[in-house]
A and B are shown apart, each in its own frame.
Chain A
Amino acid sequence: MPRLPALPRRSAQGRLRHLVAALLCAHAAIAAAHLPPSEQIQALEAAQATHPDDPELLLQRSAIERRAGHPKAAATAARRALRLGATPSRAHLALAAALLDAGDADQALETLETALDQAPGDPALTRARGQARRARGDFAGAARDLAAALDLTAQPSPDDILEAMSVHVASGDEKGALAVADRVRVRLGAVASIELAAIRLERESGRHAAALARLDRLLAQSPRHPGWLAQRAAILDTLDRGEEAARSREHALAVLRLHPRSRHPERIATLERELHASLAASSPPKGDSAP
């Protein structure tokens, strides 16, 4: 097999010159992405010196300035990109994100309203408007937008779903938060990160039967999950279903016994102790059984 050529070694300046040259190619701004933000900005400035009116470079500049913690510079670059013909929805989104970073939620919202007038139903813009509204303290409006954005997205991320749920809760609409969880479950199935948040809400609101139904859906997927079995027992206790609770705890302990104690993380060992303690507390003392 032939040897490959020796690795080229470049100084920092050499690297920069190399990148500037590369940046003159279409899309080559991405090459700068391997550099620290300050060097990325230098590289982009060099490229912009040759292509000052390239809206794509300006949007790249806006994104890098945001990552570097320079929201005002990011907003300036996004505004210029917009003037120079960048795709309006992308440029508005970049501008709104920069304005939000800068703490100017009012301007961000105004920008997004304009953008959504031009591109109604755009999920990214809708979600961003929800974030702007939340930043302004309009939780109800934010909840509407974030939920709408989820509905507009075929496969929303669990993070975005949790964000929408939390904003609903902040607006006092817990049922709305649970409705978000239910709507996405139709598309994604029962996802632990979402369902556990929903279960917490159900329990905090005293809807223990509904919490149990959600937990059972999770357990249908992973029937040996000791943490879920333990939580199921706690809910059953609340529902005065002590015998079922004990069985669920015994089931959890049986699962834990499948693995030696030495293999248990501390939090699982704690769970095991709690299960034993709960079982002991729920068992009638010896000789105290009913006649």
Chain B
Amino acid sequence: MTSSLISRNATLVGRAATLTTLVAALLAPAAASAQTITRGPYLQKPTTTSIVVRWRTDTASDSRVEWGAAAGSLGNVASDATVTTEHSIAVTGLSPGTTYTYAVGTTTTRLGGDDTDHRFTTLPTPGTRQPIRIWTYGDSGYANAAHTATRDAYFAYSGANPSDATDVWLMLGDNAYFLANDVNYQTAVFDFYEDFMRREVLWSVLGNHEFYGGNTSATQTGPYFSMFDFPSARESGTNGVASGTEAYYSFDYGNIHFVILDSMDSSRAVGSAMLTWLEQDLTATTADWTIAAWHHPPYSKGQYHDSDTEVNEIEMRANVVPLLEDYGVDLVVSGHSHSYERTPLIDGHAGLSDTLDASMLLDTGSGAPDTDGAYRKADTGQAPNQGAVFVVAGSAADARPFIPVEGHRLMASKLVSYGTMVLEVDGDTLEGHFLGHEGDILDSFRIEKGTARCPASPPSGCLASGKSGLVAKQGANDASDSLTYRWTGAELPAADVGDPSAESDLGLCVWDASGLLVDSALPPDAVATYEVAALATKLWVTDPEKPGLFLYKETTGAADGLRFAKVQTGAKGLMLVRGKGTALALPTSPWTLPVTAQIVARDTGVCFESVFAEAKKNDSTKFIAKATAD
């Protein structure tokens, strides 16, 4: 047919240009001439070694994804012969935390990609401590001016390449109004974020409008469940357990464990499948941070949505929040109310708002590091009942006043303003910023973990030494500074120390007459980062033939900060800690006498103290002092 058509048309005078075009089209692979991508490509269900690439076309064809390390060198191919308009290819065999360039198309034709606009990044290995940025917000379902402004404000905040600056993108439900059906999603999500979605995985929770759009958690059917792939079988992380449903699930990004719950259409009752799974999941995780997300906020006085009266909010607060707090949740993000509401660091507020009492407020400040100071959680990792911050970020596309106008009494910050939430996690620090639609940061807070650190002046009540010594040497640079403190000559009860080999929680504090000089501690993850199979390599050493002796020695070569400890309990007690390097932050000497040194066992709360009223040497190179009890 092709040749006859060309032959017939070749005889027509004055249609040469048309003919040329036609011939070119006909000689090209058949699918390429007509097929158009109408959705995506977009990225789903990343793991450390795989990712799902999806796209929709106007006509059906088979599917192919090519990928490689950089544009122009896509040497890998995955394809599916199924003829469809809904294309979904699982790309496997990837490396953790690695960015790849990709292209999509049919087995004969590339439809798009192989450029810097088409890239994906696999998940980092769970537990990896690296700076992580999370962009999260709810109720963004209008493709309106407000949503455009909040989106563009974040893109401006993130610099030239927002997707490179974003690690986790999480929508908090009501992602498309009113019915959250396929057409609404096309407008409010896929068209609205077309470029961003080519490079950034979209995670999501179910909102009430998703439910109105014909989605149902009971059968995992409806447009929401069709267009997204979430890890129901623990694919995206090794910290949790399989939920068995995409309505609620968990995943890990670096040192963060994300728990995504369904506050709309799954049972929220104690003993329900979701809560049973949640407890098992929280028991299994060993991540440094736990962030939970669901749509209906446990604390809110947003217009139309009062957490004292709506059953979803009440049940999530009464049944889910206490469980999360028991397992040390750090942050809960929700939407539903079209406003911004953010609590201080709280714990144990499961009742109605009038049951709030002072004991539930673990820190009444704003959490802003430059004013009230950061919220501090003493322990790293899961820190049960040490407080969490609850955020309502439901004003990405619509903002409405509180009812009553003064809002919820619990909040440290409440704003009727368009905006989105930006979370920055780095090691043991989490910062939250509410980014307004004009690009201003309208609220900020910080949570610091593992901050059972030294107070501004020496606390009283410590166990005094019989003999002690303190040596601080100023090196040629900060990296060669060193410090040694020895506490001995007195009884050291085993119960006062606990089990340092399990806790790795000894801290060292040194003050002089002018204030705190040294605030250091053994790395709390020195134990936690090792797998069971590798327990023999852990840094603490004990000897059954030498009861009461605990020895810690850093052997990885990263000799920075407090890296050596020796503890001997019993009648002839000994505590010795030694540190080196920049992380000690050793102030220059001479120091102002008297100098006080304390070792603190964080789990027992017992401290071991020496006061040095005199110094053998106290100049710009060294501080050397010994003390003997009277």
Q: Chain A residues in contact with chain B, CB under 8 A? A: 1, 3-4, 7, 9, 27-28, 30-31, 33-36, 123-124, 127, 153-162, 188-194, 196, 218, 221-222, 224-228, 251, 254-255, 257-268
> When chains A and B are docked, how far (Å) is the Cα of A31 from the Cα of B209?
9
Chain B contacts for A189, CB-based, 8 A: 233, 242, 244
Q: Which residues of A lie under 8 Å from residue B418 when comparing CB positions?
A: 4
B219 CB-CB contact with A under 8 Å: yes
| Complex partner residue of B277 from A158, A224, A226, A251, CB under 8 angstroms | A158
* Known A7-B400, A33-B208, A262-B378: A227·B280 in contact at CB below 8 Å: yes
Q: Are A259 and B273 in contact (CB under 8 A)?
A: no
Q: Select A193's contact among B273, B505, B524, B527, beta carbons within 8 Å.
A: B273
Contacts A157-B217, A225-B283 given; indicate if A28 touches B149 (C-beta within 8 A).
Answer: no
Main secondary structure, interface of B, reads loop
Complex partner residue of A221 from B217, B241, B276, B535, CB under 8 angstroms: B241
Q: Which residues of B contact A224 (CB under 8 A)?
A: 284, 286, 531-532
Set B152, B219, B305: member contacting A157, Cβ < 8 A = B219
Query: A-B pairs with the 9 shortest C-beta distances?
Result: A191-B244, A158-B273, A155-B220, A193-B276, A193-B273, A34-B304, A260-B503, A192-B280, A265-B384
**In the complex, what's the smallest C-beta–C-beta distance from A17 to chain B, in angstroms?**
16
Report A-chain residues with C-beta under 8 Å of the C-beta of B603: 260-262
Q: Which of A9, A28, A153, A263 contacts B178 (CB 8 A)?
A: A28
Q: Are A157 and B527 touching (Cβ within 8 A)?
A: no
Residues from chain A with Cβ under 8 Å of B532 in the complex: 224, 251, 254-255, 258
User: Please, how many angstroms separate the alpha-carbon atoms of A264 and B327 in the complex?
Assistant: 8
> By the criterion CB–CB under 8 Å, are A157 and B273 in contact?
yes
- Proximity string of chain B (309-334) to chain A, C-beta cutoff 8 Å, 1 when within and 0 when not: 10000000000000000111000000
Neighbouring A residues of B267 by C-beta, 8 Å? 159
Distance from B292 Cβ to chain A, minimum over Cβ atoms (Å): 15
What residue of chain A has the Cβ atom nearest to residue B501's Cβ?
Answer: A257
Q: Is B439 an interface residue (CB 8 A)?
A: yes
- A128–B247 Cα gap in the complex (Å)? 21
Is the beta-carbon distance between B503 and A261 smaller than 8 angstroms? yes
Selected A-B contacts with CB under 8 Å, 9 pairs? A7-B400, A155-B246, A159-B218, A159-B272, A192-B243, A193-B274, A221-B241, A261-B603, A263-B381
Residues on the B chain within 8 Å of A153, using CB: 218-219
Task: Judge whether B209 and A156 touch: CB under 8 Å.
Answer: no
The distance in angstroms between the C-alpha atoms of A157 and B166, with both chains bound, is 32
- Given contacts A7-B416, A196-B280, A218-B241, whether A30 and B384 have CB atoms under 8 Å apart is no
CB distance A158 to B274 under 8 Å? yes
Q: Are A225 and B241 in contact (CB under 8 A)?
A: yes
Given A191-B244, A222-B241, A254-B535, A263 and B382 touching (CB < 8 A)? yes
B153 interface hit (Cβ, 8 Å): yes
In the assembled complex, B569 has its CB within 8 A of some CB on chain A: no
A25 (CB) vs chain B CBs: closest residue: B178
Interface pair B243/A158, CB less than 8 Å apart: yes
Residue of B145, B178, B217, B382 near A31 (CB, 8 A) is B178
Q: List residues of B (340-397) whose CB comes within 8 Å of A's CBs.
A: 378-385
**B304 touching A222 by the CB < 8 A rule?**
no
Q: Is the CB of A265 within 8 A of B379?
A: no
A-chain residues with CB within 8 Å of residue B145 when the two chains form the complex: 4
CB distance from A170 to the nearest CB of B (A): 16
Q: Nearest CB to that of A156 among chain B residues?
A: B219
* Most chain B Cβ neighbours within 10 Å, of A4, A260, A267: A260
What A residues does B146 contact at CB under 8 A?
4
With a cutoff of 8 Å between Cβ atoms, the chain B residues found around residue A259 in the complex are 286, 381-382, 527-528
Question: Within 8 Å of chain A (Cβ to Cβ): is B502?
Answer: yes
In the complex, given contacts A193-B274, A262-B505, A268-B283, what are 20 additional A-B residue pairs having Cβ atoms less than 8 angstroms apart?
A: A34-B304, A153-B218, A156-B219, A158-B273, A158-B277, A159-B273, A192-B276, A193-B244, A193-B277, A225-B280, A257-B535, A258-B527, A259-B286, A260-B503, A260-B528, A262-B378, A262-B379, A262-B383, A263-B381, A265-B385
Which residue of B is nearest A190, CB measured?
Answer: B242
Instruction: Choose among A228, A255, A262 the residue that contacts B602 (Cβ–Cβ < 8 A).
Output: A262
Residues of A within 8 A of B220 (CB): 154-157
Contact indicator B277/A192 (Cβ below 8 Å): yes
- The CA of A196 and the CA of B244, in the complex, are separated in Å by 13
Q: B221, B232, B305: which contacts A34 (Cβ < 8 A)?
A: B305
Task: Tell yes or no: B483 within 8 A of A by CB.
Answer: no
B234 within 8 A of A: yes
Contacts of A194 in B (CB 8 A): 244, 273
Tell me the minimal C-beta distance from B44 to chain A in angstroms: 16
Q: Are B280's CB and A262's CB within 8 A?
A: no
Q: Is B548 an interface residue (CB 8 A)?
A: no
Residues of chain A with a CB closer than 8 A to B489's CB: none
How far, in angstroms, from A172 to B384 measured CA to CA in the complex?
A: 41
A27-B178 Cα distance, complex, nearest whole Å: 8
The answer to whether A221 touches B242 (Cβ under 8 A) is yes
| CB interface residues, B 381-426, toward A, < 8 Å | 381-385, 399-401, 416, 418
Q: For B246, B272, B384, B499, which residue has the most chain A Cβ atoms within 10 angstroms?
A: B384
